[in-house]
Amino acid sequence: MDAARLQFMTEGECVMSFFSTRGGSCVTASQAILRGLAPDGGLYVPAMFPQVSPEKIVSLSQLPYARRASEILRLFLEDFSPAEIEAAVTAAYGGDRFDDPAVAPLKPLDENTWILELFHGPTLAFKDMALQLLPHLTTLSARKNGENREVSILVATSGDTGKAALEGFRDVPGTSCTVFYPLDGVSDVQRLQMVTTGGNNTHVIAVKGNFDDAQTGVKELFSSPDFAAEMNARGKVLSSANSINFGRLVPQVVYYFSAYADLVARRAIVCGDPVNFCVPTGNFGNILAAYYAHQMGLPIGRLICASNRNKVLTDFFASGTYSTHRIFFKTMSPSMDILVSSNLERLLFEAADRDGELVKTWMRTLKECGSYSVGDQRREWLESLFWGGCADDIATLDEIGRRFRENRYLMDTHTAVASSVLREYRQTKQDGTPTVLVSTASPYKFARDVLTGIAGAGVSEGLDPFACSAELEKRSGVPMPDQVRRLKDLPIRHKAECEIEGMGEAVLREFDR
């Protein structure tokens, strides 16, 4: 049987290979992590999904988060030794890097809903769950493949990935990190977190466009032979910290197993019971990790894909047609302001029965025509596991206020989108399955809008971001994170801007500074 079409393996078998979603390009895990993007522009996917037995899930429930991570990661990263993986996860999740000893704590929200808090890392967003680990995996991958050039990380961010990548790679020997963010497309706190970043190897550039423009520009730099030659001449090799890199995706698989294991440990469920996950979604990496966990044997009933007003994914799951022929909206959940969800390509690879040529055709059609359709049969296959819903800014504010009044829980704008969509899903489907709501950011990263949600629009009028945070702390009783409190006094270190067409030149200028 063609190895690229194998979908399952049992624990203990080896060796795991990775293939491009657009066909071919067989590599090891370390090579996939080091390269980030396949030469044909596709995304690396595992040749098969390792299976995790119910007995293994029960055993995970007795372990701390770092040990859980080691157990899951080793199933994919087979050219890394167990000792290397254990050292990497200890460095990523140990010490005081996360302000909660559980790392990804699961908290009850109401009688049938739990909230998975993924914002306890240094940058207050779920991206820390992977980007505290990725630098360790990247440097290990470079050594394993005899790469002596500087690994130059290029990142496009819709708000949270940028700071998490900068923080993860800051002053890591043998690396540099350059982040592009949309000039007017992130929150005040998100922008300040990035532009105040220290380190001798960090660069931040504002792109005069939206996130899709920045992401497309980064992908074009990866596929440009001329840019690669220029980087090589400078002793650098490109890699990615976006979720197109499998090294970003696989650590995210861990926290779905961890959440389920916590439910088992608390006897909220019996191992084997289905659990739904509701995930606020932009670039599709977070919910794709849940799909991978499902393919590995995690008993997931339904994956609820929550979008904001930019509801390209909601429409895709409903119609089977992905179309970017629509207005781009700037919303109060900016990390989801995306029209081209890159990680959807990995799900399409599975929907296409791992036919790379078909995926290549869809991606070419998207680039040339702005849309593609997968057909009714594949849409029905997707619909058997996924359900898409959306919430606009009005619904988001309403949900923030409602959850605070009813549950005394303070949630950020992205989590509120998911909470609103979950409410809609339950009303529509009458599904009483226990559900984990994935919370992706601290409410203090979006203090103005969260304050408006719990106290009304007039309260934040005339207040700067720090005054909004102080007022939110006063009214909610939820302590302001030190990371936000300290921002006010940090100097602005990064002021570069560029046009969409000038991203490559902007990177080189940063290196010459």
CATH number at 358 reads 3.40.50.1100
> Is 210 contained in some domain?
no
Q: Give the pLDDT score at 14.
A: 45
What are residue 240's DSSP bridge partners?
154
Question: Which residue, chain included where needed, has tokens 């790379």?
Answer: 356
Helices (H) and strands (E) in the chain, counts: 22, 17
Q: What was the pLDDT predicted at 302?
A: 98
pLDDT at 243: 87
Average pLDDT over residues 409-415: 98
Asked if 153 and 202 count as a contact pair (C-beta separation under 8 A), the reply is no
Domain membership of residue 77 (yes or no) is no
Q: How large is the average pLDDT for residues 3-19?
A: 53
Task: Give me the pLDDT at residue 25, please.
Answer: 78
Q: What is the mean pLDDT of residues 426-446?
A: 97
What was the pLDDT predicted at 24?
80
- Mean pLDDT value across residues 115-120: 98
227 belongs to a structural domain? no
Number of domains composing the chain: 1
CA dist., res. 100 & res. 486, Å (int): 19
- Asked if the structure places residue 332 within a domain, the reply is yes
Residue 276 lies in a domain: yes
The predicted pLDDT at position 385 comes to 98
What pLDDT score does 11 carry?
39
**Whole-number Å distance between alpha carbons of 331 and 416:** 13
The pLDDT value recorded for residue 12 is 40
Tell me: the pLDDT tens digits for 202-221?
A: 999 999 999 999 999 999 99
Residues 217/180, Cβ–Cβ less than 8 Å: yes
pLDDT digits (tens, 9 = 90+) for 443-466: 999 999 999 999 998 999 999 999
Amino acid code (one letter) for 317: F
Region 28-40: mean pLDDT is 94
Instruction: Supply the pLDDT for residue 500.
Output: 95
Is 488 catalytic? The answer is no
Q: Which string of DSSP letters, residue by residue, matches 407-460?
A: H-----HHHHHHHHHHHHHHHHH-----EEEEE-B-GGGGHHHHHHHHH-GGGG
Cβ atoms of 75 and 99 within 8 Å: the answer is no
User: What average pLDDT does the structure give for the chain?
Assistant: 95
Confidence at residue 5, expressed as pLDDT on a 0 to 100 scale: 36
Residue 110 lies in a domain: yes
Could you tell me the end-to-end alpha-carbon distance of the chain, in angstroms, rounded to an integer?
Answer: 53
Catalytic pick among 56, 107, 127, 236: 127
Claim: this prediction has a pTM higher than 0.85: yes
Asked if residue 430 is part of any domain, the answer here is: yes
Query: 34: how many CB neighbours lie within 10 A of its CB?
Result: 26
Task: Tell me, yes or no, whether 160 lies in a domain.
Answer: no
Range of the domain at 323: 106-126+247-448
What pLDDT score does 159 carry? 84
